A and B are shown apart, each in its own frame.
Chain A
Amino acid sequence: DSGVTQTPKHLITATGQRVTLRCSPRSGDLSVYWYQQSLDQGLQFLIHYYNGEERAKGNILERFSAQQFPDLHSELNLSSLELGDSALYFCASSVLAGVTGELFFGEGSRLTVL
């Protein structure tokens, strides 16, 4: 158990819909990263938040947005869903922005768009 909690674990929805994925980082971790992993693919970096502020953006589509709340949990919003958005979405947390520590990954949210 990494201590990172992601909900929901599985989500099936239709094209054009909007979903929200939630991540609770490990207690005390200020950094939250979101990654997308398509079938048999690598980990595509989406976005990084530190203590409520956006730190970096990766290959995140304009239809996607995220935020980190004062209690440090984060949400990834995916809208106008397309078939190609079907993937496993991982959240990972880390302790400090200025110090490189390991990433602790949640178990992921598997999104299926039909």
Chain B
Amino acid sequence: GQQVMQIPQYQHVQEGEDFTTYCNSSTTLSNIQWYKQRPGGHPVFLIQLVKSGEVKKQKRLTFQFGEAKKNSSLHITATQTTDVGTYFCAGVNTGNQFYFGTGTSLTVIP
């Protein structure tokens, strides 16, 4: 079946350092979405990438979709304590089914 793997599973960074999480799908995706789940909270949508090679930025967050539409990354520049949480990618296939990655839990040390 379709799988979406995400690495790393955990990441501890000093405040101000950069952070990147990577997402890989076993199959070509229609699009990919990213979500953030704060501790004790529910996943909240961040962004959707649709086009091959697409790059989108939201302030300190940069999202990329691979040329083959099978991988994606989220990069945070100069992390802040407010960035703490688990970041999930969700690969979406042509049947509009969402396959969530395993998530990367980010801890930011002040």
> Does A49 lie at the interface of the complex (its beta carbon under 8 Å from any beta carbon of B)?
no
Are the C-beta atoms of B97 and A45 separated by less than 8 Å?
A: yes
From known contacts A42-B102, A43-B88, infer whether A104 and B45 are also in contact, taking CB-CB under 8 Å.
yes
Give Cα A35–Cα B88 distance, bound, in whole angstroms.
13
Chain B at the A interface: SS class: strand
Taking a contact as CB atoms closer than 8 A, the residue among A2, A97, A103 that contacts B98 in the complex is A103
Minimal Cβ-Cβ distance residue in A for B45: A102
B30 CB-CB contact with A under 8 Å:
yes
Q: Is the CB of A45 within 8 A of B96?
A: no
Assess whether A42 is in contact with B100, with CB atoms less than 8 Å apart.
yes
Q: C-beta contact mask, A35-62 vs B, less than 8 Å → 1, else 0? A: 1000011110100100000011000000
B54 → A minimal CB distance (Å): 14
B9 to chain A, nearest CB (A): 9
| Given known contacts A42-B88, A42-B101, A103-B90, A98 and B45 CB-to-CB distance under 8 angstroms | no
Chain B 68-110, CB within 8 Å of chain A: the 1/0 string? 0000000000000000000010101001111111110100000
Residue in chain B with minimal CB distance to A50:
B96
Given A35-B100, A42-B103, 10 additional A-B pairs, CB 8 A: A33-B98, A42-B100, A56-B95, A98-B96, A100-B31, A102-B33, A102-B48, A103-B35, A105-B44, A106-B42
A-B contact pairs, 20 of them (CB 8 A): A2-B44, A41-B102, A42-B6, A42-B88, A42-B100, A42-B102, A42-B103, A43-B88, A43-B100, A55-B95, A56-B95, A56-B97, A99-B96, A100-B30, A102-B33, A103-B45, A103-B98, A105-B43, A106-B42, A107-B42
By a beta-carbon cutoff of 8 Å, the part of chain B in contact with chain A is: 6, 30-31, 33, 35, 41-45, 48, 88, 90, 92, 95-103, 105
